[in-house]
Structure formats: structure tokens, C-alpha cells
Amino acid sequence: MPSPYMVNNLLVSQLKEFLLEDAKRIRWSLERIAQALKDRYREYQRQKVRPFTRSVEKAYEILLADNEFLSFVSAKNENLKDDEISSDSEDEWDQQAAHRPNTMNQMVSNLYASNVGASSQGNSNVQMETSTKPEEEQQAKRKQTTEKSVKKVKRKKPAESTLTNDVDGPDVEYSTITFEHFAASDSFKENLIRRIYFVLRPEGFIQNGKTPPRGFLLHGPPGVGKSLLAQALAGELKLPILKTTSTELVSGISGDSEFKIRKLFEQAKRHSPCILFIDEIEAISQRRESASKDMERRIVTQLLACLDELSRLPMTRVVIIGSTNRPDSLDPALRRAGRFDHEISLGIPNEIERRRILTMMCRKLTSLDSTFDLDDVVMKTPGFVGADLSALIDEALVAGLNRKMNMDLNTNQSMIEWIKQKIHEPESESETSVLNSYTITMNDFHMALKSVQPSSKREGFATVPDVTFDDIGALKDVREELSMAILASIRHPTLYDRFGFVRSPGVLLVGPP
């Protein structure tokens, strides 16, 4: 025996007002009407979809006993055309909602059928109200009601199209960064593009009954270029990118974080083909066995469910890219096949990669001195990532500007007074020409090396000791032998290669404890 329904008079009145505003809404499905009511009225936004949809269905059944509502439905239902309904659904709702079964329309049709049969037998409980007013009065009343409903629709339309406008989701961007801004080998770029191609053109996988792997996990130390790589992919392929951080998805309200994750993936489906980039993904995908709150476990479960839903839709051309500094802290279920299939490690660049990065960064510098030695800077920056090399160039630029400021400083004036004076002075042509003529020398880079700390040393990925041979008071012969065996091959690699010397793979130190 079904449980009795407690009548929500407020919901009935709100549903009636909503349907009377526009006759086209009579043909909407129950799910669509329920979602529109949740978007319009704040008190329904926290309710679950299925129970609220059933409440809307019960409220609509109560409305069918209202003679005023039935007369409005009968008058407007004859004037609605199928092409108007389809165009309205395309403008205000996504394509999936347009293909849902039209439950409301079926209920109206069933009601008409029952009313016709009951009227012929003479025992109808609910009869249509027949007006005795003249035809002109009826047309004037209908025209006035239509104009009033059109005004209401124009005023309420922004609240109804919340999903279409993507108010809660991130903005869709078109990146201007391409592979020209990302220093990586051609083989690495080609391999990555090949894998993404199968996501954007999945016909080969679909013919064989498979779904192309669409998840890419970028991990590496901070500053290595994970976010830059995602933007370069979007710019190179000319795809829209939805970029969000995990902190934007976390909320203190129960259930709100899961709602944001669902909305994010729905937005990605609507903008297909596109790239969905989640930065610092470890904040929302930590191991569930070590989670301190149930909310953290629910967030991980919701993320896994959204990824599995995408894997069941092979024609949805959405590339999922996540970045993290700590891949070991992620939930193991997130790293299995079918979710984040490909893990790309962006490690600390070696000598060849540092030269490529510095060449790209120094391309825009117009004040480099002719004595600038790129190979020397590359040799003296072991353990530097892309962000560290960018900071090194900034510090060298500051050192050059400080040298120019010291040259212009008067002997009887302090630096603070001189800066305060120059800030409020208008820029003259002579000062501009002097600034354009100054150069960044190798000494500026040597000074910058003393102040910039590499990421490998800061994060603990590698140990760069501060002890040198100057701190050792004896063992002169041993020091010279170690210098020839180790340091010479590192400081002068070209000479070793030119003369055909074999680099020693290791040195064994022997002595008493």
C-alpha cells in the first residue's frame, strides 16, 4: 500500500504560477520542471532530485483538479506546435534533457482521454468549466494573460537558465599558449598529442567495443610546468579549456562539494570537445582509508563516479588532466585503468632541457650583453626547474637595474630619497634612452645564482650540499685526483667528448674509519 502524500500547498501554488507564465512549459518533462523550480526557489535547491521530482508530480496531479488550470491547459495545448517545443528545449535546456520522456505531456493526454470517456457516460467527477461569456471577451482575456506571462518569462529567464550560463562552474577559456612556450622534446610532444587524438576521434576504439583512455595525471615538483603543459595542449589543439583548482570545489556545506563536481563534469560534457584541467587534485582525492572526515570520502567517491560515467560515453570528447605534487597521496582507485590511465612524470630537467628552457626564456630579453654565456649558466644551474630559471632571469634583471641605479645615485643622497624622488617625477626621454642602453652581464647572473634557491634543494627531492673543497684543510693530492675524476668531466664535458676520454661512473674512497 503506497504511503499517503502530505500536500505541500506552497509547492502547488508555485507550480501553478510557473506553468501559467508560459504555455510551452506544459509540454516539459517532470525532471525539467523540477530542475527549473529548484533553480528559481532557494528552499528547494538542497533537496534531492528524485524525491523532489515525485513531489512535483503529486502537486501536478492536484492541479489537474483545478478548473481554472484545466481551462488554461485546454486552451493553450491546442495552439502549441511541435517545432516551437523543440526550439524552446534547445534554447533553454541541454540536449540530454530534450530527449527525456515527456511525462507531463503524457499525464495531460491521459487526463483528456479519461475526461472524454467519463463525459460520454455522464459520471465524470472533474468537468471542464464552460464559460458563457461572449467570444470577444474570451479573446481579450486570453491576450491579456499571454502578455502578462511573456513579461514574467522575460523577468524570470535568468534564474531558469542557471545551468546554461554556467554561473557555478569555471569560465571556458581559449589558451594562447602553445608548444612554442613549452620547452620539451619533440618526441614527448608527439607522443602526448597521439594519445589525446584517440580521445578526440574515438571511432577506432568504438568499432572494437572499447572506450579510449581519457585521463592524464601530471605529477612532478612545483614549478616544473604542469599547468603550462595543460594550457599549451589546449592552445596547440585550439580546444576550450575548463581550468579549476581543487580548492574551488571544496565547500564547508555538506553535499555542496559533490554538487560542484557533478556540475563541473556536466559543463565539460556540454562544451565537448574540450580539456578539463583540475590543478592540485590531491586536495580532493586523498586516500579514503586515511580521511579524517566522511565528507572527504564522499568527495573522492563522487569524483570516481563522474570519471566512470565519462568512460561509459565514448563519444563524449572530453580530455581529463589532473596535476599533483604528491602522487602517492592520491587514492589508489583514482590511478587505476579507466580513470587516470596515463601518468606523466615531469621531473627535474637535465642539462639539455635546461638549455632549451633558457633559450626560450632569453628569446625576449633585449638587454643581454654580448658576453652572455648560455652554456655557463646551464652548467651552474643543476636542480633548477622552469620556475627557478625564470626567477634567476628576474634576479639578474634586478641586479642590472640596481647597478644602473647606483650609477645615477648622487653621493649626497640616500637610496630611499632618490627612489621617492624618481617615483613622482615624469618619465623623460633621456631616462628612457639610458634604460634601453643598459645590459645584463654575466656578473648579474652570478649574483642572481647566490640568491635563487633551486626547487630540488628546497623541496627535498635532491641534496645540494654547501660544503666545498675550501672547507677541507688537508688531503691536497686526494682533492686534485677527485677534481680530475669527477669535476673535470662535469665542468668541461665538451673537452672530454672531443678527446674521447671515458667518464668515470664512480669513485671508491678507501681509508680507515
- Is there a cis peptide before residue 273, judged by omega within 30 degrees of 0? yes
Phi, psi dihedrals of residue 244, rounded to the nearest 5°: -145, 155
User: Which cell numbers hold the place of 418?
Assistant: 632618490
The backbone torsions φ and ψ at residue 254, rounded to the nearest 5 degrees and listed phi first, read: -65, 125
> Can you give the pLDDT at residue 77?
59
Residue type, 505: P
The radius of gyration computed from the CA coordinates of the chain, to the nearest angstrom, equals 35
pLDDT bracket for residue 389 (50, 70, 90): very high
Residue 186 Cα distances to 215, 220, 347, 353, angstroms: 22, 20, 17, 12
- How many residues are recorded in the chain? 513
Q: Rounded to an integer, what distance in angstroms lies between the CA atom of residue 158 and that of residue 172?
A: 19
Residue 92: pLDDT over 90: no
What crossing angle do the helices spanning 30-40 and 49-63 adopt, rounded to 10°?
100
Give the lowest-confidence range in 70-74, 102-106, 148-152, 486-490.
148-152
Nearest to 14 by CA among 156, 167, 164: 156
Q: Is the pLDDT of residue 414 over 50?
A: yes
Please list, residue by residue across 465-499, b when 16 or more beta carbons sit within 10 angstroms of its beta carbon and e when fewer do. Answer: eeeeeeeeeeeeeeeeeeeeeeebbeeeeeeeeee
Task: State the architecture of 172-345 in CATH terms.
Answer: 3-Layer(aba) Sandwich (3.40)
pLDDT averaged over the chain? 77
C-alpha cell at 68: 481554472
Please give the Cα distance from 294 to 1 (Å, whole number): 36
Are domains 172-345 and 354-459 of this chain identical in fold?
no
Please check whether residue 186 is in contact with residue 192, taking contact to mean a CB–CB distance below 8 angstroms.
Answer: no
DSSP letters for 322-378: EEES-GGGB-GGGGSTTTS-EEEE-----HHHHHHHHHHHGGG-S-B-TT--HHHHH
Higher confidence at residue 127 or residue 189? 189
Confidence (pLDDT) at 156: 41
C-alpha count within 13 angstroms, C-beta hemisphere, residue 218: 23
Helices (H), 30-102: 30-40, 49-63, 67-77, 82-92, 95-98
CA-to-CA distance for 372 and 395, rounded, in angstroms? 15
More reliable by pLDDT, 413 or 301 = 301
160, 38 contact by CB (below 8 A): no
Q: Give the torsion sign (CA, 79, 80, 82, 84).
A: positive
Looking at residue 24, the DSSP 8-state letter turns out to be G
Of 41-55, 315-329, 451-465, highest mean pLDDT: 315-329
pLDDT at 190 over 50: yes
Q: How far apart are CA 93 and CA 40, in angstroms?
A: 15
Please give the helix or strand (H or E) that residue 424 lies within, else none.
none
Q: Look at domain 354-459 and name its CATH class.
A: mainly alpha
Q: In the β-sheet with 240-245, what is the strand arrangement from edge to edge?
A: 172-174, 240-245, 274-279, 318-324, 215-219, 342-345
Torsion-angle region of 241 (φ positive above 0: left; ψ -120 to 50: alpha; else: beta): beta
**Domain range annotation of the chain:** 9-164, 172-345, 354-459, 465-513
pLDDT at residue 100, rounded to an integer: 43
Task: Check: CB of residue 235 under 8 Å from CB of residue 175.
Answer: yes
Nearest C-alpha neighbor of 339 from the set 296, 315, 303, 289: 303
Q: Which of 43-57, 278-292, 367-381, 487-501 has the lowest mean pLDDT?
A: 487-501
| 408-437: average pLDDT | 67
Look up residue 352 and give its amino acid. I
Report residue 109's pLDDT band, with 50, 70 and 90 as the boundaries: low
113 pLDDT more than 60: no
CB atoms within 10 A of CB 38: 19
DSSP strand E in 182-229: where?
Answer: 215-219
pLDDT of residue 432: 57
Strand partners, 440: 368
What pLDDT is recorded for position 321? 94
In percent, the amount of the chain with pLDDT more than 70 equals 75
Distances (CA, A) of 29 to 25, 26, 157, 262: 9, 8, 18, 21
* Contact in structure between 244 and 238 (CB atoms under 8 Å): no
Could you report the per-residue pLDDT of 116-146, keeping only the tens digit for each? 444 444 443 433 333 444 455 555 555 555 4
Stretch (H or E) spanning 320:
strand 318-324
Quote the Cα angle for 140-146-152, to 5°: 140
- pLDDT band at 437; cut points 50, 70, 90: low
Higher pLDDT, 353 or 66: 353
Side-chain half-sphere exposure of 393, counting CA atoms within 13 A? 21
Q: Model-level pTM? A: 0.60
